[in-house]
């Protein structure tokens, strides 16, 4: 499965360079300028921006005491956006259960899975290993960074 992912990435790379080559090949004339719509598709042109704004360890520092206000907010978000796939036990339903999750994953890794899901699934070997196991791409549930920190705080209580 991992090889397949890699191969897919390679193919994507090939596809891109082919397109570029074609454009160069027929470039030069007025034709090319008028050829295309001038709009770039940002999503397509730059798929996942790996590493670009991934969260690093120094950006996620836990305070010594658990902030119960944030825990409550995190639990509320969990129930709407996460619970359908993640139990609070240790068993996997769609994704892994969250019991003791912070013993297994670094906080910044969890933050990145929440906020930069696609980039992680493209580049991070551990995320890819999870995908091989779960077979459902984790959805990006469009949380803000603060909301993700609330969920993280909630995880500290599990």
Partner 1 sequence: MKRTTVITALPLLLAAGIALPLAQGCKPANTKSAVTGDAASKVYVPPGKYDEFYNFVSGGFNGQMSVYGLPSGRMLRNIPVFSVDPEKGWGYSEETKPMLMTTHGFIPWDDSHHVEPSMTNGVADGQWMFINGNNTPRIALIDLTTFRTKTIIEIPNSAGNHSSPFTTPNSEYVVAGTRFSLPMGGDAQRDVPINTYKENFKGNVTFIHPDRETGKMSIAFQITAPGVDFDLSHTGKGPSDGWFFFSCYNTEQAYELLEVNASQRDKDFIMAVNWKKAEQYAKEGKGKMVPGKHFMNHYSDETHMATSEVVEQVLQLDHKELKDLLYFMPCPKSPHGCDVDPTGQYIVGSGKLAALIPVFSFDKMIKAIEAKDFEGEFDGIPVLKYESVLHGEVKKPGLGPLHTEFDNNGFAYSSMFVSSEIVKWNVQTLEVVDRVPTYYSIGHLCVPGGDGAKPWGKYVIAYNKITKDRYLPTGPELSQSAQLFSIDGPKMELLLDYPTIGEPHYAQAIPAELIKDKSVKLFKIEDNKHPYVSKGEKETKVVRDGNKVHIYMTCIRSHFAPDNIEGVKMGDEVYFHVTNLEQDWDVPHGFAVKGAANAELLIMPGETQTLKWVPTSVGVKPFYCTDFCSALHQEMQGYIRVSPAGSNIPLTWNTKSADAGL
Give the list of residues 6+ apart from residue 50 with CB closer than 8 angstroms, or none.
119, 122, 123
Which residues contribute to the site for partner 1 (CB under 8 A)?
A: 15-16, 19, 22-23, 26, 29, 31-32, 34-41, 44-45, 79-81, 83-85, 87-89, 91, 93-94, 97, 135-137, 139-143
Nearer to partner 1, 9 or 56 (CB): 9
Residue 127, judged by CB atoms within 10 A of its CB (0-12, 13-18, 19+), counts as buried
Q: For residue 113, how far is the Cα from the chain centroid? A: 5
Minimum distance from CB of 142 to partner 1 (Å)?
A: 4
Q: What are phi and psi of 42, to 5 degrees?
A: -60, -45
Nearer to partner 1, 48 or 143 (CB): 143
Nearer to partner 1, 72 or 94 (CB): 94
């Amino acid at each position: 499965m991992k090889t397949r992912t890699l191969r897919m990435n390679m193919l994507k790379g090939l596809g891109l360079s082919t397109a570029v080559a074609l454009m160069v090949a027929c470039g030069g004339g007025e034709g090319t300028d008028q050829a295309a719509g001038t709009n770039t598709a940002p999503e397509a042109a730059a798929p996942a921006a790996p590493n670009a704004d991934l969260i690093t360890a120094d950006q996620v520092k836990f305070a010594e005491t658990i902030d119960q206000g944030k825990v409550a907010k995190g639990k509320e978000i969990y129930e709407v956006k996460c619970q359908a796939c993640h139990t609070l036990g240790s068993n996997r339903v769609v994704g892994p259960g969250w019991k003791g999750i912070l013993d297994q994953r670094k906080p910044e890794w969890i933050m990145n899975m929440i906020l930069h899901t696609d980039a992680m699934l493209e580049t991070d070997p551990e995320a890819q290993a999870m995908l091989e196991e779960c077979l459902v791409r984790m959805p990006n549930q469009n949380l803000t960074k603060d909301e993700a920190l609330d969920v993280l705080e909630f995880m500290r209580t599990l």
